[in-house]
Amino acid sequence: MEQPPPASTGISVHADGDVSQNGPVTAVFLLNIDRYTAPLLAGWVQSGNRIGAIVVPGFRRRPKGFSVGNIRRRLQRRLLLKRYLGNIPTRLIEFGKPYDWDVLRRQLSGIEADVLISYAFPRLVPQDALAGFRMGGLNLHPALLPNYRGPHPLHRLVVDGQHAVYGGVTLHRMSVGYDEGDILAQVAFSEADWASKQSLAHSTATAFRMLVSGAVPAYCRGTLSGMPQPEGDFIWAELEPAHMMVLSSMPMEHVARLWRVLGTVPGIYLRMADCNVRLGVQIRRLGPPTGRAPIKRWASVEFDLADGRVVHLTYNRLLKRLIKVHDRLASAKIGEPHLEMRLFGQSE
C-alpha cells in the first residue's frame, strides 16, 4: 500500500499561524451544522472571510408534513450558529433528496462565491455545479488521503487498527471521483487525539478550522496549488456489518476504541448463541480469559477478550442519555490538541 505524500513535499504551519489578508474570500458551505463544523464556520469569519450561504442536509418528511424532531434539529442548528457566529446574518438552504442541483443553483444564483466547501455530503457534486464557483469545490475528508477514501474513514481506521498511521484530516479539490482530487493540505493526528471520544471530536473540529481558515484562502488567492494524488490500490473506507462485531480475539484496548468511535452510531455488537447483543461501555475487567461462553444479565454482558474477561453494559435508551450528559461534562475538560498543518504546492 502506498503511503501518504512524504513530509518533504509540504511545509509545516502551526495552529496559530496566519495567512496574509488580501481581501475577504466568500464561500458557500455544503455541510451539516454540528460540533465539528460550527467551529470552522467561526474560524472562517474570524479570519476576515465571508459566508455566502450554508447548504444543510434536508430532513426526511413525515407523511403529514410535520415533525417535532425536525423542528428540534432546526432549532439546534440556529443555536449553534448563534453560539459560534453571534449576530452575523447567515442564509441557510435545506437541500435533500432527490438532490435537484438545478433548484440549488437557482437558490445560489444571487450569491457571488469564490469556492464551495463541503464536508460529509453523501453525493458527488456535479462538475457543472462546481463550475458556478470561481475556484470550484473543496472537500474536508477525515483521513490522510489517498488512504481511506470513502464514506466511513473514521470507522474503518479504527476497525483496521490504522488510526495512528492514517488518522487526520485532508483538504482536497473536488473532482469527478470520490475523494480523488488534488491534496491541498493535511493535519495528522497522534495517538493522543484518539484517547477519548471528546478528544477525537475536538481534534477533528480544530483540524477543520485550521484547514479552512489557513489553506482555503491561500488556494483561492493562487498561492496554493496542491498536489495530485498518487495512483494505487487503496482501501475503500466503507463500513460493513462484520466490522461492527466484537470478537474474542480482540484486545480490550481495541474494543474500547471501537466503542469510542462506533459505539453510539452505528453501534458495536457481540454475537451470542441466540442473538447479537449491542454493547455499551466496559465497566470492569474480571480477570484473565476463561474460555467460557458469554453470559448476558440484566443491562450487562460478560465475555472473554484476548487479554481479559470483561463486563460491558448493554446499550439502551437510558445509557444513551447518560452518555450525552457525560460527553458534555467531559468536553469541558479537553485541552487544546497539538496539531500542525502541511501545505502542498505552496508558492512564494
Beta carbons within 10 angstroms of residue 278's beta carbon: 18
pLDDT at residue 18, as a whole number: 40
pLDDT at residue 22, as a whole number: 66
Q: How does pLDDT run across 276-334, given as a tens digit for each residue?
A: 999 999 999 999 999 999 999 999 999 999 999 999 999 988 888 888 887 777 766 77
Q: Is the pLDDT of residue 270 over 50?
A: yes
Contact (Cβ atoms closer than 8 angstroms) between residue 158 and residue 262: yes
Cα–Cα distance for residue pair 278/250, rounded to 1 Å = 16
* DSSP-derived secondary structure for 228-283: PPPPS---B----GGGGEE-TTS-HHHHHHHHHHHTTTT--EEE-SS-EEEEEEEE
Write out the H or E segment, with its range, that includes residue 30: strand 26-30
Go through the chain and tell me how many residues it has.
348
What b/e string do you get for 53-73 counting C-beta neighbours within 10 Å, with b at 16 or more? bbbbbeeeeeeeeeeeebeeb
Q: Is the pLDDT of residue 14 over 70?
A: no
Residue labelled with grid coordinates 465571508 = 50
Q: Which three cell numbers stand for residue 123?
A: 453525493
pLDDT at residue 194, as a whole number: 95
pLDDT at residue 107, as a whole number: 95
pLDDT at residue 5, as a whole number: 43
pLDDT at residue 66, as a whole number: 66
Q: Is the pLDDT of residue 62 over 70?
A: no
Query: What percentage of the chain reaches a pLDDT higher than 70?
Result: 91
Q: Is the pLDDT of residue 70 over 90?
A: no
Cα–Cα distance for residue pair 198/16, rounded to 1 Å = 22
More confident residue, 313 or 23: 313
Contact (Cβ atoms closer than 8 angstroms) between residue 149 and residue 237: yes
Whole-prediction pTM value? 0.89
Across 7-21, 27-41, 48-62, 275-289, least confident range: 7-21
Cα–Cα distance for residue pair 330/322, rounded to 1 Å = 12
More confident residue, 97 or 114: 114
More confident residue, 14 or 183: 183
In which band, very low, low, confident or very high, does the pLDDT at 61 lie, cut at 50, 70 and 90? low
Q: In the chain, list all ranges with CATH 3.40.50.170.
A: 7-234+335-344
pLDDT at residue 208, as a whole number: 97
- Classified by CATH at the fold level, domain 7-234+335-344 comes out as Rossmann fold (3.40.50)
Nearest Cα to Cα of residue 59 among 51, 67, 47 = 67
**Over residues 251-274, mean pLDDT:** 94
In which band, very low, low, confident or very high, does the pLDDT at 68 lie, cut at 50, 70 and 90? confident
Cα–Cα distance for residue pair 338/189, rounded to 1 Å = 9
* DSSP-derived secondary structure for 285-337: EEES---PPPEEETTEEEEEETTEEEEEEEP-HHHHHHHHHHHHHHHTTPPPP
Contact (Cβ atoms closer than 8 angstroms) between residue 217 and residue 47: yes
Cα–Cα distance for residue pair 38/50, rounded to 1 Å = 14
**Over residues 195-208, mean pLDDT:** 93
- Classified by CATH at the fold level, domain 241-331 comes out as Methionyl-tRNA Fmet Formyltransferase; Chain A, domain 2 (3.10.25)
Q: Is the pLDDT of residue 20 over 70?
A: no
Mean per-residue pLDDT of the chain: 89
pLDDT at residue 58, as a whole number: 85
| Alpha carbon separation from 299 to 273, 318, 324, 348 (Å, rounded) | 18, 10, 18, 61
In which band, very low, low, confident or very high, does the pLDDT at 147 lie, cut at 50, 70 and 90? very high
Nearest Cα to Cα of residue 194 among 230, 167, 216 = 167
- Residue 25: what residue type? V
Q: In the chain, list all ranges with CATH 3.10.25.
A: 241-331
